[in-house]
């Protein structure tokens, strides 16, 4: 049976009207928020969304609020026509592709903040970033009102920020974290991989190698400081500018892993023009 091509909506009013019709037909809704420049990682999220609900909504919106003053908002790859073509081959029924003016008609006068999680790790290196993420995701969830929202675990901190926001604001939405989709080399798929040269793309797989090295060590010892230092230096020597390489409690990244049952190893590093992030969850035995 051929896949029905999705309908593209550009305004809040249009998408709300359509989704109310969907609900009136007794159908469930799942939602995948994206910034476009779609790749296999996004496609896997959409396939997961289609397993959970009858009607899949994908948003494409490059959110200016989550970019810092010297970050890549203007350069961020925008590939709407290609994205629409790809989505027409996937189980996606509605695409929401608004303008900045549609989402922020009066600019930014209200912000959503999750302070316990927003100022550490990536938040320390990108001040205000997670306030921008929480605000836009809150807006999108209020527009779409899905039963499920599917997000990638590659953005581990972002996932925890959004899970916490949805829980604290009593939003009747299930946040579903989907496993990271990787290149054959182990490199986590990301739209920002487009910034990498072929040589850099090969080198970028060293991030996942470091995560695996640390995971093996973590199975043997909790005294990880010396091994973390060695891996940070190894990545630096390879050409990365390492923002952080740390181990946290997988269930609450603001907490230590020492007494946790699950740890997460998190890395963020710059390679050329690309800022790359990745993580690996490790089950701990005491």
CB 143 within 8 A of CB 96: yes
Task: Assign domain 7-178 to its CATH superfamily.
Answer: HUPs (3.40.50.620)
Domain boundaries, the chain: 7-178, 191-281
Q: Cite the DSSP H helix spans in the chain.
A: 12-24, 40-52, 80-87, 100-103, 115-118, 122-125, 129-144, 156-168, 198-204, 206-218, 225-238
Q: What is the pLDDT of residue 286?
A: 63
Which residues, listed in sequence order, are joined to residue 264 by a DSSP beta bridge? 248, 281
Provide the whole-model pTM: 0.95
- According to the model, what pLDDT value does residue 70 have? 86
Task: Render pLDDT for 53-87 as a digit per residue (tens, 0 to 9).
Answer: 999 999 999 999 999 988 999 999 999 999 999 99
Q: Are both 7-178 and 191-281 of the same fold? A: no
The catalytically annotated residue of 42, 125, 129, 209 is 42
SS3 category, 66: helix
Q: What pLDDT, on a 0 to 100 scale, did the predictor assign at position 220?
A: 92
Would residue 55 show up in a list of annotated catalytic residues for this protein? no
The domain 191-281 is classified under which CATH number: 3.40.50.300, 3.30.1300.10, 1.10.645.10, 1.10.390.10? 3.30.1300.10
User: Are 204 and 182 contacting, i.e. CB atoms less than 8 angstroms apart?
Assistant: no
Three-state DSSP at 33 gives: strand
**Token match 């890549």: residue?**
72
Exposed/middle/buried for residue 237 (C-beta within 10 Å: 0-12, 13-18, 19+) = exposed
Q: Return the pLDDT at 96.
A: 98
pLDDT tens-digit map of 84-135:
999 999 999 999 999 999 999 999 999 999 999 999 999 999 999 999 999 9
Q: What is the pLDDT, as a whole number, of residue 3?
A: 66
Q: What is the mean pLDDT of each run of 10 residues along the chain (286 residues)?
A: 82 98 98 97 98 98 94 93 97 98 96 96 96 98 98 98 98 98 97 96 98 96 96 98 98 96 98 97 88
């Amino acid at each position: 049976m051929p896949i029905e091509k999705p309908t593209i909506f550009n305004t809040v009013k249009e998408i709300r009207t359509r989704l109310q019709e969907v609900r009136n037909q007794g159908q469930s809704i799942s939602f995948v928020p994206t910034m476009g420049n779609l790749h296999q990682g996004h496609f896997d999220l959409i396939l997961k969304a289609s397993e959970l609900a009858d009607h899949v909504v994908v948003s494409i919106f490059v959110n200016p609020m989550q970019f810092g003053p010297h970050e890549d908002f203007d350069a961020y790859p925008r590939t709407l026509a290609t994205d629409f073509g790809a989505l027409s081959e996937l189980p996606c029924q509605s695409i929401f592709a608004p303008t900045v003016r549609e989402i922020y008609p009066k600019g930014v006068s209200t912000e959503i903040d999750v302070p316990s999680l927003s100022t550490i790790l990536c938040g320390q290196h990108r001040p205000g970033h997670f306030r921008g993420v929480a605000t836009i995701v809150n807006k999108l969830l209020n527009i779409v009102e899905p039963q499920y929202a599917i997000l990638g675990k590659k953005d581990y901190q972002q996932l925890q920020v959004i899970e916490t926001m949805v829980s604290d604001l009593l939003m009747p939405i299930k946040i579903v974290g989907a496993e990271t989709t990787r290149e054959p080399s182990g490199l986590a798929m990301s739209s920002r991989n487009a910034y990498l040269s072929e040589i850099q793309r090969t080198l970028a797989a060293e991030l996942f190698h470091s995560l695996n090295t640390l995971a093996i060590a973590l199975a043997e010892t909790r005294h990880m400081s010396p091994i973390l230092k060695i891996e940070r230096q190894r990545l630096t020597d390879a050409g990365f500018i390492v923002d952080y390489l740390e181990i946290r409690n997988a269930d609450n990244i603001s907490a230590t892993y020492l007494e946790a049952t699950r740890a997460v190893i998190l890395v963020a590093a710059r390679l050329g023009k690309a800022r790359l992030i990745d993580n690996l969850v490790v089950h701990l035995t005491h």
